[in-house]
Structures are given as structure tokens and as C-alpha cells.
Amino acid sequence: MTQALQHLLNTLVLGGTYALLGIGLTLIFGIMNVVNFTHGALYTFGAYAAYLACAALGLDFFLALPVAILAGLALGALIELVLLRPLRGSDMDTTMLVMIGAGIILQSGTLWIFGGVAKAIPTPFPDAPLQIGPVSLSWLRVFVFAAALALIAVTYGLINGTRLGRAMRASFQDADTAALMGVNVGFIYTATFAIGSALAAAAGALLGPVYVVFPQMGDLAAVKAFAIVILGGLGSISGATIGGFILALAEEFGAGYVSSGYRDAMGFLIIIAVLLVKPTGLFARAERIG
Amino acid sequence: MSRPFRLASLAALSLALLAGAASAQTIKIGVNEPLTGPFAASGTYVVNGAKIAADEINAKGGIGGKKIELVIEDNKSNPTEAAAVAEKLITSDKTPVMMGAWGSSLTLAVMPKLMDYEVPMLVETSSSGKITTSGNPYVFRISPPSSLEAELFAPKVDKLGLKKVDFLVINNDWGRGAALDFGAMLKSKGVEVGLVETMDQAAQDMSAQLAKIKASDSDTIVITTAVDQLTLIFKQMAALGLKKRVITTGGSQNPDQIIAQAGAAADGTLHLTTFLPWDPAKTPNPEATAYFLGEWKKRGFEFAGATESFRGYDGIRAIAAAIEKAGSTDPKAIQKAFWEVKFMGLNGPIQFVKTGPAGKESGQSKPQVYLIKIDGGKVSLVEL
């Protein structure tokens, strides 16, 4: 029983960050119809930005976090302006190839600058864990979970409660009509890609100190982000949130009670099962484009 | 084929021939290590150690008047890449001897290539038993197989008072081999073996496995993996409030890196290592150890890497000794000469003993194994 409780707690904490990863990816796909293969690289970028802010600028972890998020926002806007804007209107395959190339450049660039040896980000949290009855959890993970939930809430608020969000949703439903109604669709695309990138960078900066920071850390994260987005339905933010928690649950309990060797396979088994029953994912929206 | 392309390929060909002629003055040694991926830290340290050995040998005039040249390639911590790197080193760079490939699964993937091209390889780190028992006469290993590591650890088992042990191992030939060899040794000592949990080499979150181990009634966890994953495990153990005795195997722990990255979470952990850079006077070859550590420091490398990098240093020295004995750069002659190599490495005498099926034996050197303890950010030798 204690073991199950501990697994459940681990699931919640892991699921929060998975959701954050999934939302960034699904946002960009839903609104821009771009499969963002730089998502993993942006996750890595966020972690290194936080590392640099701590190691080179001497900032503490709480300040390094917004620095990393802003850096992700800026890099996302740059990628959109330089790579995606000139390609607007070309087919999906072309964009996909360009994004794969950009992802490789970012990862190799990180390797070139920082080398392959992992770095650690220091945090001010105590080593002693938070004890809740028989189960325990590190303070750092509690903070990461809370920050992930806060970021998810902010993203929801942004999409559903602001003028920018309304313009984003309008562009999502029909870009041409939105443009005719006076929405600056070009700006909306840049903003969307920047926000999606900032969320990936935030996930990297949050998980950097939980794990370690190395150039290939984004590979596994990207695979999981894609899995979550497919599970939740392409373009659905609530789907990505719930998908993140389902993936974490499958991994945690699969490793705990079936076989730890197949931990990463568990999530994909669930995805295959879901796609067999509901090929559009759990929460696909009817008006989804593409 | 279009005309400009033909011209270009002709130019490339002549350039390659020229480069070949220029490097005939050096003796090439292939180095096949993981410089990226999950084992990047360890592979990089080994390569840095190898460079120190090469520079030392070249500063003394090289071998028979020829300088040695390391051809270093990244196998990306991936067995498929490791085999491809070996193929490239042998066929394109024409290296008559190689060192590699850090991990057991990486080395095992390279081994068929050694048979195909009849080129010997010195194995500096891998510890799976299969490497020297599968009948590959081109393999010469200076790191201890996990069975030897278990055998050397056996006398300490009673003194530590182990009762029941769980395993947490990396899910490859190295980890599974260690669980098998240590499990057999512990059982023969009357110690109960409980869970054997595995983790993918790229996994970052081991909380699920650790929660399971926390719920078991074992007193000790034997962990086998490389330094980056160990750091994560210690942090995650602390987060789960999992307080059992920890013993790590394999010699790729880099204790000082663990101290730097895991902090107090690593306190009280025990580690089986194959080098004692903390106390050069107690090593089998204090003079060489002091030189190596001095050179390591002079180059600005982190001290933490020394426990891993010495393997690269000793590996290249063993290869150089074989080439010198062979008196030629013919792969066959070098393979034969490996059997005559005998010198004092940083971790005991390097001398190859025949192991594996008769007629096609591999070479295995017998190094020292030490048990060390991390406490309060310090490393100490555990003498029982």
C-alpha cells in the first residue's frame, strides 16, 4: 500500500512536467500546423540557459528560471522569424525537414560549446525530503510540480482569457478569415511559436536540477512530448495535460509492478491501445486543422 | 557522373593518398570511445588519459623513432555506432590496433569486426564476462570482469554483515552481467538475493524502481551503472527517504563527481573502484601515479575524472608496449606481442593471462579492486 502511494505521488510530480512538455508542442501544432522537431532542443536550451544563469551570472535558481523562460521565448521567436516565416505556405514535409535540421544544429551547437559531460544546476532546496506519513518527496520536486501547474494555468489563461489568446484561437480555426477580421496572423504565428518554445525551455529549466544537464537530454523528452500529444489528440491543450499524467502513470506503475526494464515501453503500449480504439487521440477537437 | 563531380572525386582521392603518405611516419592507434550520449563523461575522461600516455611516449621519442598518433572517434554510447567506428578505423584509417569501447555492449558490438579484419583491440573499461570468454583471440582486457570484481569483494561480504541484497543495474551486458556474477557470489556466501531491477541506459528517473526497492526487506542495494546515472539515483534515493547500504560496482563511479553533483545524498555509499588517486602512495606504482596525476592537473582536467582516465592512460601504454615488442605495425604481430607485455600499470601489473575456449583465447590482465567510502564529501579507503 505504501509502495502504491509512493508510486502515485511520483506519478503526479512526473505528470506535471510531462504535461508542460506536451502543451508547448501541441500549441504549435494546433495553431501553426508545424511539427516542431526543435522541441527537444529547446528543452535542452532551457536547461543550459538556467545552468548558465546560475554558473556564469551567479543568479540563484529562482531567478535563473525566468531568465531561461525568456531566453526560450526569444529563441522561439527567432526560429519562427528566420526559418518558418519564409516557408509559410510551403507543404508540411518541407517545414518538417527544416525543423529536423534546426534541431540537429541546436543539439550539435550545445555539444560544441559545452562538451558532452553532464552539468548540475544547484538549487537552494534542502536535501532532506518532505515526509507525508510513510511516503516522501523532495522539496525540489514539490516546487517543480507547483511551478509546472502554475505555468499550465498561465497558458490556459492566456489562450482563453486574453485578446492575444482570442486572436490565436481565431487563427487556429481559420487563418484567412482571422486575417480579414484584422488579426495580424504573422504576429500570432511568431507569438505562438515563441510561447510554445518558452514552455519547452521552462520544462528544461525545471527538470535540469532534478536530473542532470547534457546535450542529448532533449531526445528522450521530445519522444515523450510527441507521445503525449498523440495520446491527447493533436492540437488539444487539455488533451496534452491529461496525456502527460496518463503517460507518467503508465511508466510509474509499469516499472513498479510489471518490469522496470520496459518502463519506457509502457507508455507506448498505452498509446497503441488508445490509437486502436480512438485514432484521433483521446481529446481531439472536431474542428482541428490538418 | 558529371564532369565537375568526377574532377572533385579525383582531387579528393589524391588528397587522401597524400594524407596517407604523410602519416606513414606515425604509428596510428584507433580509439573508439563514447564522447556523447549517456557515457560521455566517462568516455571523455578515458580519451584524455590516452592523450597523456601518447604525449609522454612521443616526448621520449616515440616507438622505434616513430611518433604515435591517436585516431579518436566517438561511438555515441551506441553499439551500432561502435561497430561502425571500428570498421572506419580499420578500413579507412588503417589503424593496426585499437583501444575501446568503454561499455560492455559497445565492446561486444565491435568484437565481430576484430575477427573479420584480424585486428587486435585493448579493452580498457568493459566488465562483462562474455568479452573474454566468447573465443575472440583479438581481445586483450585490462579492466576486471565483474566475476573477478565479485571474487575480490567476496572476503569483505561477511565483515560488512550483508543479509539480503537487491540489485539495481543498467539494462545492458554490463549491468545484467554484474547482477549475475555478484548474485552468484553472494548466494555462495549465504546472502539472500532479492529484487533485480533494471534501468535503461538513457533513463533519468529511477523513482519507480527505487520505490519498489524501498518497500523490500533488503538491507543493501548493489548498483551498477556509470557516474551520471549514479548521481541521479543517489539524489532520488534521498528524495524517497530510502536509507539502505549502497555498494556500487564497475569502477566508473568517479567518486569526486558524485560528491560534487549529489552532495550529502552520497554520504555513506560504498564503491568498488580500480584506482586510488586519493592516496598515490598506496597504489602499486606510486611514481607513475604521481606523474599521471600531475599531468592530469597540469592540463586543467577535473580531478574527478582520474579514476576513469587512468584506464585510457594504461591502455595506450599497454598498446605501445605491444607495438614495441612486435617491432612492426602489422596487426598480427601486435596481437602476438600482447602476450609478452609485462609492466607495472597504475593499478597493478599488466600482463595478459589466457581465458576462454582453448585455441582462441582472449587476454585478461588481473588488476586490483578497492572498496572506498564517501562520507562528508571525502573519499576514504575501507580496509576490512
Chain A residues with beta carbon closer than 8 angstroms to that of B238: 127-129, 138
The answer to whether residues B129 and B41 belong to one domain is yes
Does some domain include residue A33?
yes
Q: Is A10 on the interface with B (CB under 8 A)?
A: yes
Which chain B residue's Cα is nearest to A7? B208
Does some domain include residue A255?
yes
> How confident is the model over A138-173, as pLDDT tens digits?
889 899 999 999 999 999 999 889 999 999 888 888
The answer to whether residues B45 and B127 belong to one domain is yes
> How confident is the model over A262-277, as pLDDT tens digits?
888 887 888 888 888 8
Gap between the Cα atoms of A118 and A58, Å rounded: 19
Chain A residues with beta carbon closer than 8 angstroms to that of B199: 260-261, 263
User: Which of B199, B205, B258, B308 would you mutate first to test chain A, the one with the most A CBs within 10 A?
Assistant: B205
- Tell me, what's the pLDDT at B14? 55
Task: Tell the burial category of A148 from Cβ atoms under 10 Å away from its Cβ (0-12, 13-18, 19+).
Answer: buried
Number of domains in chain B: 2
Does some domain include residue B297?
yes
The answer to whether residues B152 and B262 belong to one domain is yes
Is residue A237's pLDDT more than 80? yes
The answer to whether residues B188 and B170 belong to one domain is yes
- Tell me, what's the pLDDT at B21? 46
Is residue B183's pLDDT more than 80? yes
Does some domain include residue A284?
no
Is residue B215's pLDDT more than 60? yes
The answer to whether residues B179 and B301 belong to one domain is no
- Tell me, what's the pLDDT at B1? 44
Does some domain include residue A39?
yes
The answer to whether residues B253 and B374 belong to one domain is yes
Q: For the residues B281-297, what does the mean pLDDT come to?
A: 92
Residue B219's domain spans which residues?
A: 147-278+370-381
Closest of A290, A88, A50, A52 to residue A193, by C-alpha: A88
Does some domain include residue A285?
no
- Closest by Cβ to A216, choosing from B37, B236, B263: B37
Which chain A residue's Cα is nearest to B201? A261
User: Which of A260, A263, A264, A268 would you mutate first to test chain B, the one with the most B CBs within 10 A?
Assistant: A260
Residue A60's domain spans which residues?
A: 2-118+129-277
Is residue A119's pLDDT more than 90? no
Say if the ipTM goes beyond 0.90: no
Residue A130: which pLDDT band, with cuts at 50, 70 and 90?
confident
Does some domain include residue A154?
yes
A-B CB pairs within 8 A amount to: 107
SS3 state at A220? helix
Chain A residues with beta carbon closer than 8 angstroms to that of B201: none
The answer to whether residues B313 and B201 belong to one domain is no
CATH number of the domain residue B324 falls in: 3.40.50.2300
Q: For the residues B233-240, what does the mean pLDDT come to?
A: 90
Does some domain include residue B85?
yes
CATH number of the domain residue A245 falls in: 1.10.3470
The answer to whether residues B264 and B240 belong to one domain is yes
Does some domain include residue B78?
yes
> How confident is the model over A32-60, as pLDDT tens digits?
888 899 999 999 999 999 999 998 888 99
C-alpha cell at B219: 538491507
**Residue B373 φ then ψ, to 5°:** -130, 140
Closest of A51, A73, A27 to residue A229, by C-alpha: A27
- Closest by Cβ to B232, choosing from A111, A115, A211: A211
Is residue A62's pLDDT more than 90? yes
Does some domain include residue B2?
no
- Tell me, what's the pLDDT at B129? 92
Q: For strands A135-137 and A130-132, give the pairing.
A: antiparallel
Chain A residues with beta carbon closer than 8 angstroms to that of B44: 115-117
Please judge whether A256 and B212 are an interchain contact, meaning their C-beta atoms are less than 8 angstroms apart.
Answer: yes
Does some domain include residue A137?
yes
Please give the share of chain A, as a percent, with pLDDT higher than 90: 44
Q: Is A223 on the interface with B (CB under 8 A)?
A: no
The answer to whether residues B250 and B356 belong to one domain is no
The answer to whether residues B377 and B252 belong to one domain is yes
Number of domains in chain A: 1
Please judge whether A212 and B204 are an interchain contact, meaning their C-beta atoms are less than 8 angstroms apart.
Answer: yes
The answer to whether residues B255 and B186 belong to one domain is yes
Contact by Cβ (8 Å): B118, B332: yes
Does some domain include residue B158?
yes
| Beta strand segments in A120-166, E | 130-132, 135-137
Gap between the Cα atoms of B49 and A256, Å rounded: 40
**Residue B220 φ then ψ, to 5°:** -140, 145
Please judge whether B264 and A127 are an interchain contact, meaning their C-beta atoms are less than 8 angstroms apart.
Answer: yes
The answer to whether residues B224 and B305 belong to one domain is no
Q: For the residues A218-234, what does the mean pLDDT come to?
A: 88
Does some domain include residue A286?
no
Is residue B18's pLDDT more than 90? no
Contact by Cβ (8 Å): B347, B283: yes
